[in-house]
């Protein structure tokens, strides 16, 4: 019997499969299709201090081997998540859940995380630093190591929960970003977020997305994500959650060999709502195929001799 269990920042998971934020809502729609407790956990919809309607439509554009989205962090706000959504979630998900947090200033990140720290249901805070800094000219926190460190430090000061910083791939040196977050107190690194891209409507001769640019996700970005997980594993000593184009059990193991402790699945949930369940079910057979007894032994396994 193979063992799929891993430990993420001190919290035990039955397996490393985690649906990614923005692709799984708050779990309710998927819980209506299958028992989502088979998952390691899931990262719920990106939450901000205040409710957000998001960007104007159209927000989604298809492309070869992936999709573009510019949803714009639509969410009900942290107060509604705490008062309404998490109590409902107790009925269908019985494991610690990962809270994905976004913000537009250091203070907003800290305030939102401090509020979420009070919830016993939340096992980890996944801090998305790809948002624009409204006090710094609109530059994303995730494009400057000093800004990333400032957010990490502020969040670390207001919570006892593990802080996992989610990095943008739209940078020159992903390892430098990860090292800055680790030095500022991050307990883990989550990567990669979407790559920036666009599509143009040939008939209208105009961008398809109302926001012009959007985030590219799906199988097309898997090699890029794998490369960045590899680089960050060599640069930091804290756990990594790998993501970006993962759609099979084989992809999960490949990510772990590159250095990931756990693996998030994103765009595939929108293609196949049973993807998380199917990957969890497939893992044991794939492990046996490649002679893997304990999945945790795979973490960073491809770095031997490099």
Pick the closest to residue 162 from 179, 145, 182, 144 (CA basis): 182
What's the pLDDT at 138?
Answer: 53
pLDDT in tens, 260-275: 999 999 999 999 999 9
Residue 155 contacts residue 113 (beta carbons within 8 Å): yes
Residue 84 contacts residue 104 (beta carbons within 8 Å): no
Sign of the dihedral through C-alpha 212, 103, 235, 3: negative
What's the pLDDT at 154?
Answer: 98
Distance CA 120, CA 127 (A): 18
SS3 assignment, position 228 = helix
What single DSSP character describes residue 82? I
Q: Say what the pTM is.
A: 0.96
CATH code that applies to domain 6-303: 3.20.20.70
Token readout for 50 is 């205040």
**Active-site annotation holder among 9, 38, 113, 131:** 131
What's the pLDDT at 140?
Answer: 82
SS3 assignment, position 285 = helix
Q: Strand (E) positions, the chain?
A: 6-8, 11-13, 17-19, 60-63, 66-69, 97-101, 122-128, 163-166, 188-191, 195-197, 200-201, 206-207, 214-217, 240-242, 262-265
What single DSSP character describes residue 218? S
Token readout for 193 is 């977020």
- pLDDT under 50 in the chain at which residues? none
Annotation marks residue 63 as catalytic: no
What's the pLDDT at 287?
Answer: 98
Q: What is the domain partition of the chain in residue ranges?
A: 6-303
114 backbone dihedrals φ, ψ, rounded to 5°? -65, -40
What single DSSP character describes residue 56? P
pLDDT in tens, 115-153: 999 999 999 999 999 876 556 655 689 999 999 999 999
């Amino acid at each position: 019997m193979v063992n799929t269990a891993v430990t993420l920042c001190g919290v035990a998971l039955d397996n490393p499969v985690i649906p990614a934020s923005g692709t799984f809502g708050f779990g309710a729609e998927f819980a209506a299709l299958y028992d989502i407790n088979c998952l390691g956990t899931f990262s719920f919809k990106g939450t901000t201090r205040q409710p957000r309607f998001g960007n104007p439509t159209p927000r989604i554009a298809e492309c070869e081997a992936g999709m573009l989205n510019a949803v714009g962090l639509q969410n009900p706000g942290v107060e509604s998540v705490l008062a309404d959504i998490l109590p409902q979630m107790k009925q269908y998900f019985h494991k610690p859940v990962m809270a994905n947090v976004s913000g537009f200033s250091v203070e907003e990140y800290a305030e939102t995380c401090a509020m979420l720290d009070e919830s016993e249901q939340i096992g980890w805070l996944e801090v998305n630093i790809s948002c624009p800094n409204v006090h710094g000219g609109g530059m994303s926190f995730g494009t400057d190591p000093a800004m990333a460190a400032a957010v990490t430090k502020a969040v670390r000061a207001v919570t006892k929960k593990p802080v996992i910083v989610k990095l943008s791939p739209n940078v020159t040196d992903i390892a430098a970003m990860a090292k800055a977050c680790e030095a500022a107190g991050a307990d883990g690194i989550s990567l990669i977020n979407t790559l920036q891209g666009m599509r143009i409507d040939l008939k209208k001769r105009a961008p398809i997305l109302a926001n012009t640019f959007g985030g590219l996700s799906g199988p097309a970005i898997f090699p890029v994500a794998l490369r960045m997980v590899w680089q960050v594993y060599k640069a930091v000593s804290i756990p990594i959650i790998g993501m970006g184009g993962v759609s099979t059990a084989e992809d999960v193991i490949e990510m772990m060999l590159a250095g990931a402790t756990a693996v998030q699945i994103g765009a595939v949930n929108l293609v196949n709502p049973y993807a998380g369940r199917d990957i969890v079910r497939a893992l044991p057979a794939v492990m046996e195929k490649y002679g893997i007894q304990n999945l945790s032994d795979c973490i960073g396994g491809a770095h031997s001799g490099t």
